[in-house]
A and B are shown apart, each in its own frame.
Chain A
Amino acid sequence: MSTVSGQETVSIGTGAAPLPRARAVGALRAWLRLLGSEVGLTLRRPRNIAMLAVLALVPVLIGVALRTFGGPDETDGGPSVFGQVTGNGLFLTFAALSILVQLLLPVAVAVVAGDSVAGEAGLGTLRYLLAAPAGRTRLLGVKYANAVVFCLAAVAAVALSSLLAGVLLFPAGPITLLSGGTIPLLDGVLRIGVVVLYVTAGMAALAAVALAFSTMTEAAVGAIASTVGLVVVVQVLGVIPQLSVFQPYLLTHWWNGFDGVLRDPMATGEMGQGLLVFAAYIAVFGSIAWARFTGKDITC
């Protein structure tokens, strides 16, 4: 077990300084170890497991409801996706994501990302992590990466449970696009993958906002509530016609912008713009979180 290289690693700090490249590899490995610890902590936490379970349950409920009561009549003028679900189970993914992305997914992301720094501060574990020393920039990076992993987990949970429920409850087959064309089932699943990544990016932008709030308080509830409150307020602002000029700058406006994958040819324009908006939010709120966290006195 105790090979020569193993012993060398153990004696880091007292032995000769390792080569820069070896040091970079070691630093990356240590970073991944901390990320692994962080992800493990997040995914083992009962509260987070419960949120993922609820998120996975909603598509099943939608599917069962559609199966039991049938899709909406077209005269109802309801969103057509629901009608399409009964014809093709794969549409359950789009229906479920377009509903959950409005509030439930953002709430789950706000809980995890809003808790990330403030929760540790509240527990007091933040001071021990920093004394370990985790490094402030490094810890913040890990915290954000963890939030993004959770975003992906949450969106994937919705997508997978929708796929499963959709295929079990409804016929599945080639997908009719919004443009009227038809693509094979496998293509459809691939396009669902694109949607999962897009929605994850949108949630990752919200996670950056929540992380910034999280660095400003020692009470996780405060950061979470501010984030959720902000989402609701922005959603409301987004539907006020007098404020429609601001719509393109609102984060929530872009979360739903993935219907381009259902067009022929795939309309990437709106999603591209959405990704730019997400990137801008991540850059702005990520840097605010960094400035706050690296300059903060840890007094609890």
Chain B
Amino acid sequence: MSEQTRRGRAVRWGVPIATVALVAGAIGAGPVIAAVQGDPVLPERTAAQLLADAVRATESGVKPMSGTVMQTASLGLPGLPEVAGMGGTSPAALLAGSHELKVWYGGEDRFRFALPGRMSETDLIVNGDQAWLWESETNKATRIKGAGQAGQDHDRAMPMATTPQQVADEALKRADAGTAVSVSNTEKVAGRPAYQLVLTPRDGSSLVKEVKLALDGETFVPLRVQVYAKSAAEPAFEIGFTSVTFTPPAPDNFTFTPPAGAKVEEKTLADLGSRPEGGQERAEALKGGLTTVGEGWTTVAVLPFSTQDLKGPAQRQGDRPGGQDAAVVTDALLKSARQVSGAWGSGKVIQTKLVSALLTDDGRLLVGAVTPEKLTEAAGRR
């Protein structure tokens, strides 16, 4: 009889156990469904064919589309604290975690990007010669003059400026003798079959294991870029569509009227490009002293720099919103620095998953996607 009660109890508790299993199943169902459906198989293409297709597709203009882009960074920045209230627009915020960008693309000169934050949003709306930057956080609408020409100048790269396209271009430029290139035709991105170009550095001292670039199987639009570091199985950096539809977005996405009560400013593209507080000159000065050592994946940049330089601007920027975050990041990085010395001198090494930096005591900064050993080696070569 007590056997019966025991069985009753087992049956009863079976219900929540089954529910938990069901929920866990639903969470894991994405991969399972994908596995059951099997990999999509596209017609085979070589890397060269694929790139040609991609270029052709770009030349004939990207089809109208809309979608959501997700950017995920796990760069392994040491001790990076979560900055409270860090919105999606803060530069430091982009160094860790996931960030979402919404894209509506109606044509070369009609597009909208929206960067949603918690109870805030930043929008860039371009419609013909009208361009607006809207920042809900500050209730400010900025009319950008000369956007029309700029659109023509920058041409097709523009709509994809912060989408996979830009990053893809960068990765492709690097493809040279130092890179092994392979293509797979069984990827799936944002629910669409895609080709994937895999670029693997041949030099063992590179921190980059491989760069994967997924192109839509139908339109050859870059759908995703992933950068893998040698030290981790998950991508250190990833940007790609999580959903995409190649249908023209509703026209009212491209119209913008500054809402009542908003501050309206007018700026030219040049205004936006120049940095305040003499940033421009600093950039020029840096460029002047910049030299490189090595080439391809293991290029090391060498520039004159000192800890003071690093701290100075960060503190000054502290007065501006966003500058605070930069200061926090800088501090965190410096704190994690490791003292090294050798025949070349001595200095501090900062290492992340993808990038190493060496700050020598004689006032040089060496940066590269390479191991610290490679940096010290470069430091020795004057």
Q: Are B120 and A80 in contact (CB under 8 A)?
A: yes
Interface residues of A in 160-191 (CB under 8 A from B): 174, 176, 178-182
Q: Are A81 and B119 in contact (CB under 8 A)?
A: yes
Inter-chain contacts of A94 with B (CB < 8 A): 119
Inter-chain contacts of B35 with A (CB < 8 A): none
Q: Are B321 and A75 in contact (CB under 8 A)?
A: yes
Give A contacts to B, CB under 8 Å.
74-75, 77, 79-81, 83-84, 87, 94, 98, 174, 176, 178-182, 239-241, 244, 249, 256, 259, 262-263, 265, 267, 269, 280, 283-284, 287-288, 290-291, 294-295
Q: How far is the CB of A93 from chain B (nearest CB, A)?
A: 13
Q: Are A267 and B116 in contact (CB under 8 A)?
A: yes
21 contacts between A and B (CB under 8 A): A77-B85, A79-B85, A79-B119, A80-B136, A87-B139, A98-B119, A174-B260, A176-B259, A178-B119, A180-B121, A180-B123, A180-B258, A182-B260, A239-B82, A241-B97, A259-B116, A259-B119, A290-B15, A291-B12, A291-B13, A294-B12
Distance between Cα atoms of A294 and B379 in the complex (Å): 73
Q: Are A180 and B141 in contact (CB under 8 A)?
A: yes
The answer, among B15, B20, B118, B256, for a CB contact under 8 Å with A180, is B256
The answer, among A80, A87, A265, for a CB contact under 8 Å with B119, is A80
Inter-chain contacts of A79 with B (CB < 8 A): 85, 118-119
Give B contacts to A, CB under 8 Å.
8-9, 12-13, 15-16, 18-20, 22-23, 26-27, 68, 80-82, 85, 96-97, 102, 114, 116, 118-121, 123, 132, 134, 136-139, 141, 250, 252-253, 256-262, 321
Inter-chain contacts of B120 with A (CB < 8 A): 80, 178
Distance between Cα atoms of A35 and B31 in the complex (Å): 42
Closest to B23 in A: A280
Inter-chain contacts of B82 with A (CB < 8 A): 239-241
Closest to A242 in B: B82
Given contact pairs A180-B258, A294-B12, A295-B8, A74 touches B137 in the complex (Cβ within 8 A):
yes
Inter-chain contacts of B121 with A (CB < 8 A): 178-180, 263
Q: Are B116 and A241 in contact (CB under 8 A)?
A: no
Inter-chain contacts of B114 with A (CB < 8 A): 179, 263
Distance between Cα atoms of A260 and B96 in the complex (Å): 23
Inter-chain contacts of B12 with A (CB < 8 A): 290-291, 294-295
Q: Are B16 and A176 in contact (CB under 8 A)?
A: no
Q: Are A241 and B260 in contact (CB under 8 A)?
A: no
Inter-chain contacts of B13 with A (CB < 8 A): 291, 295
Inter-chain contacts of A77 with B (CB < 8 A): 85, 321
Q: How far is the CB of A206 from chain B (nearest CB, A)?
A: 17
Q: Are B96 and A241 in contact (CB under 8 A)?
A: yes
Q: How far is the CB of B374 from chain A (nearest CB, A)?
A: 30
Inter-chain contacts of A288 with B (CB < 8 A): 16
Distance between Cα atoms of A267 and B117 in the complex (Å): 12
Distance between Cα atoms of A259 and B141 in the complex (Å): 20
Interface centre among B23, B81, B102 (most CB of A within 10 A): B23
Inter-chain contacts of B257 with A (CB < 8 A): 182
Given contact pairs A77-B85, A80-B120, A291-B12, A176 touches B68 in the complex (Cβ within 8 A):
no
The answer, among B9, B16, B23, B137, for a CB contact under 8 Å with A80, is B137
Q: How far is the CB of A277 from chain B (nearest CB, A)?
A: 10
In the complex, given contacts A94-B119, A180-B262, A291-B13, what are 12 additional A-B residue pairs having Cβ atoms less than 8 angstroms apart? Answer: A77-B321, A178-B120, A180-B132, A181-B256, A182-B259, A241-B81, A259-B116, A265-B250, A269-B68, A284-B19, A287-B19, A295-B8
Inter-chain contacts of A80 with B (CB < 8 A): 119-120, 136-139
Closest to A88 in B: B261
Q: Are A287 and B116 in contact (CB under 8 A)?
A: no
Q: How far is the CB of A102 from chain B (nearest CB, A)?
A: 12
Distance between Cα atoms of A94 and B132 in the complex (Å): 26
Given contact pairs A269-B68, A295-B12, A179 touches B134 in the complex (Cβ within 8 A):
yes
Inter-chain contacts of A83 with B (CB < 8 A): 139
Inter-chain contacts of B19 with A (CB < 8 A): 283-284, 287
Closest to A258 in B: B119
Closest to A267 in B: B116
Closest to A171 in B: B261
Q: How far is the CB of B121 from chain A (nearest CB, A)?
A: 4
Q: Are B96 and A74 in contact (CB under 8 A)?
A: no
Closest to A81 in B: B119
Distance between Cα atoms of A114 and B67 in the complex (Å): 42
Q: Are A87 and B250 in contact (CB under 8 A)?
A: no
The answer, among A87, A249, A256, for a CB contact under 8 Å with B118, is A256
Distance between Cα atoms of A44 and B27 in the complex (Å): 41
Distance between Cα atoms of A259 and B82 in the complex (Å): 22
Q: How far is the CB of B265 from chain A (nearest CB, A)?
A: 14
Q: How far is the CB of B312 from chain A (nearest CB, A)?
A: 22
The answer, among A176, A269, A284, A294, for a CB contact under 8 Å with B260, is A176
Q: Are B134 and A180 in contact (CB under 8 A)?
A: yes
Closest to B125 in A: A180
Inter-chain contacts of B80 with A (CB < 8 A): 241
Q: How far is the CB of B144 from chain A (nearest CB, A)?
A: 14
Inter-chain contacts of A176 with B (CB < 8 A): 259-262
Given contact pairs A74-B137, A180-B258, A244 touches B97 in the complex (Cβ within 8 A):
yes
Given contact pairs A259-B119, A263-B114, A295 touches B9 in the complex (Cβ within 8 A):
yes
Closest to B83 in A: A241
Distance between Cα atoms of A239 and B97 in the complex (Å): 12
Inter-chain contacts of A75 with B (CB < 8 A): 321
Inter-chain contacts of B118 with A (CB < 8 A): 79, 256, 259
The answer, among B85, B136, B137, B321, for a CB contact under 8 Å with A179, is B136
Inter-chain contacts of B9 with A (CB < 8 A): 295
